[in-house]
């Protein structure tokens, strides 16, 4: 990727804008009073190392605290801005309450572990927490459990932060908040980059939803990922809170054969996912992808960074929610957002059976076999749900072999292949969530009349399929200038 013109205001970095390159990991060179730059990894052809993973604990003795020292080395620098005083005491009380009320429940034990990790006030105390949790859960519940640290590096946070700071057009410094904080433009909209990576990792651990195979515990600078070594069944149907009684249950059937997945496949999936995220973040923060009138345009960068985080959050909702309507809303939000990443990734494409069959076939060709065991079952189920949608067309007067008769723009019935009609029917459903923002046509009404409205719950996993395609092919995020 060639370097591009970048305007860096003189107030940056205490009035030393030349230090911007080393601060964010750009190759930044003075050029005619301003700069040209690009990501350092573009120059070196190296691994971006914006996010990275490492295994914690000794396989021979997971109770040995020496196996968890990496968290001390990597996360101690954040102690000064970490958990508030008193967090540890509150976390201990919560864990004790959970153990007293549910002494044999693994879910409550995991919730207690998460509370302790989040509440530990200094990183030096984390090895004892991690060693105790890993050893205890391996002995009692999950014999193949493992602990990992996924780091969100300072370089990644700075690239996001600089793009937000540059939203202040021109050379005027950013205005502080009433509390005196600076560089806060859009901060809370993309805070998962700095704390927990939730939007980016939670879709992974729910990749076999409703089964779950890992849980996360966020810290500043990284997240602890505890893999169970197997896919764990969802909660029993009667284990409900009062709010759950008001859910519109999607009636999602568990995926087949997930109990047979070997524990090594979960490690492979985590490693693949983090490595691909690393490339995705590199492309998302590449200045050359945001050229407007020949110069790096920070607002375009922020808009796209925000799009990706919001898209991932919608996919997180689909993986973690049982409410069918919430899942459907999140599906269409995802499909509507895809074009913000790449203009060819349209909603129409994502709901066209032949296109999604091709995407699935490509993933089956490029993903490692063990990774496929963990990541592709929902993708396959989504394609099957899209295929089955055609079965909802029921009117004999309109059905023809392989198609359905629908009015064209002149009101004349024409033959439409079932796959095309199914795609158009999904568009009608999407538009209904926006108050039918496009005036219904005779064709729209014919589609509503000709279809039963039956929709397989797994149709929402088309969003998951779309995310997998972006991760498998991060080059889709390369943009041309405007």
Counting as low any pLDDT under 50, the low residues of the chain are none
The whole-angstrom separation of Cα 95 and Cα 383 is 42
Which candidate, 260, 266, 259, 142, places its Cα nearest to that of 204?
266
Contact between 192 and 152 (Cβ < 8 Å): no
**315 burial class (0-12, 13-18, 19+ CB within 10 angstroms)?**
buried
Q: Which of 47, 115, 65 is nearest to 281 (CA)?
A: 47
pLDDT of residue 32: 84
Q: For residue 249, what is the DSSP state?
A: B
Give the residue among 72, 16, 34 at the shortest CA–CA distance from 287. 34
Q: Are 123 and 71 in contact (CB under 8 A)?
A: yes
Report which secondary-structure segment, H or E, holds 55: strand 51-56
Tell how far CA 73 is from the center of its chain. 27
Cβ pair 473, 465 in contact under 8 A: no
Domain boundaries, the chain: 4-37, 395-451
The pLDDT, as a whole number, for residue 24 is 95
Quick one: tokens of 182? 């600076």
Query: pTM of the entire structure?
Result: 0.93
How far is C-alpha 72 from the geometric centre of its chain's CA atoms?
27
Predicted local confidence at residue 170, as pLDDT: 65
Q: What is the pLDDT of residues 180-193, one digit of tens each?
A: 777 788 888 888 88
Give the angle 89-95-96 at the CA atoms, nearest 5°. 90
Residue 210 pLDDT: 94
Tokens 């409550």 correspond to 108
Model pLDDT, residue 167: 86
Q: Residue 130 in contact with residue 147, Cβ under 8 Å? A: yes
Give 110-114 contacts, CB < 8 A, sequence gap 24+. 110/137, 110/215, 110/226, 113/137, 113/215, 113/217, 113/226, 114/215, 114/216, 114/217
């Amino acid at each position: 990727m060639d370097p591009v013109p970048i305007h860096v205001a003189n107030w940056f970095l205490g009035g030393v804008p030349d230090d911007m390159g080393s601060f964010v990991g750009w190759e930044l060179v003075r050029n005619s009073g301003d700069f040209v730059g690009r990501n350092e990894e573009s120059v070196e052809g190296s691994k971006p190392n914006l996010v990275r993973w490492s295994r914690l604990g000794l396989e021979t003795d997971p109770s040995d605290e020496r196996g968890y020292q990496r968290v001390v080395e990597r996360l101690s620098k954040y102690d000064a801005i970490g958990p508030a005083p008193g967090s540890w005491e509150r976390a201990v009380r919560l864990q004790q309450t959970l153990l007293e009320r549910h002494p044999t429940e693994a879910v409550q034990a995991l919730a207690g572990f998460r509370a302790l990790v989040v509440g530990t006030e200094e990183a030096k105390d984390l090895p004892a927490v991690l060693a105790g949790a890993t050893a205890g859960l391996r002995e009692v519940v999950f014999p193949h459990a493992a602990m990992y640290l996924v780091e969100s590096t300072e370089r990644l946070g700075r690239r996001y932060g600089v793009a937000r700071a540059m939203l202040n057009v021109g050379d005027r410094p950013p205005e502080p908040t009433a509390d005196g904080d600076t560089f806060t433009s859009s901060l809370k909209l993309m805070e998962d980059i700095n704390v927990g990576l939730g939007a980016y990792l939670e879709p992974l651990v729910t990749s076999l939803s409703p089964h779950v195979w890992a849980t996360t515990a966020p810290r500043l600078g990284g997240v602890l990922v505890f893999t169970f070594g197997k896919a764990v069944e969802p909660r029993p149907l009667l284990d409900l809170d009062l709010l759950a009684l008001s859910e519109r249950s999607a009636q999602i059937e568990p995926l087949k054969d997930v109990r047979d997945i070997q524990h090594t496949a979960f490690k492979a999936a985590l490693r693949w996912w983090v490595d691909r995220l690393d490339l995705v973040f590199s492309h998302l923060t590449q200045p050359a992808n945001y050229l407007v009138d020949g110069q790096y345009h920070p607002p375009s960068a922020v808009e796209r960074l925000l799009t990706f985080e919001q898209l991932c959050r919608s996919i997180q909702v689909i993986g973690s929610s049982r409410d069918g309507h919430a899942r459907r809303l999140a599906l269409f939000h995802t499909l509507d957002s895809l074009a913000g990443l790449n203009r060819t990734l349209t909603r129409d494409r994502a709901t066209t059976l032949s296109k999604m069959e091709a995407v699935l076939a490509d993933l089956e060709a490029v993903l490692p076999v063990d990774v496929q065991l963990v990541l592709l079952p929902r993708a396959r189920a989504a394609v099957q749900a899209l295929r089955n949608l055609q079965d909802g067309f029921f009117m004999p007067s309109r059905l023809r072999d392989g198609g359905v008769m629908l009015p064209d723009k002149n009101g004349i019935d024409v033959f439409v292949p079932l796959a095309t009609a199914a795609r158009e029917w999904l568009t009608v459903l999407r538009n209904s969530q926006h108050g039918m923002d496009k005036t219904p046509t005779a064709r729209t009404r014919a589609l509503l009349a000709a279809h039963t409205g039956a929709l397989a719950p797994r149709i929402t996993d088309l969003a998951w399929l779309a995310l997998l395609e972006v991760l498998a092919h991060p080059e889709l995020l390369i943009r041309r200038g405007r």
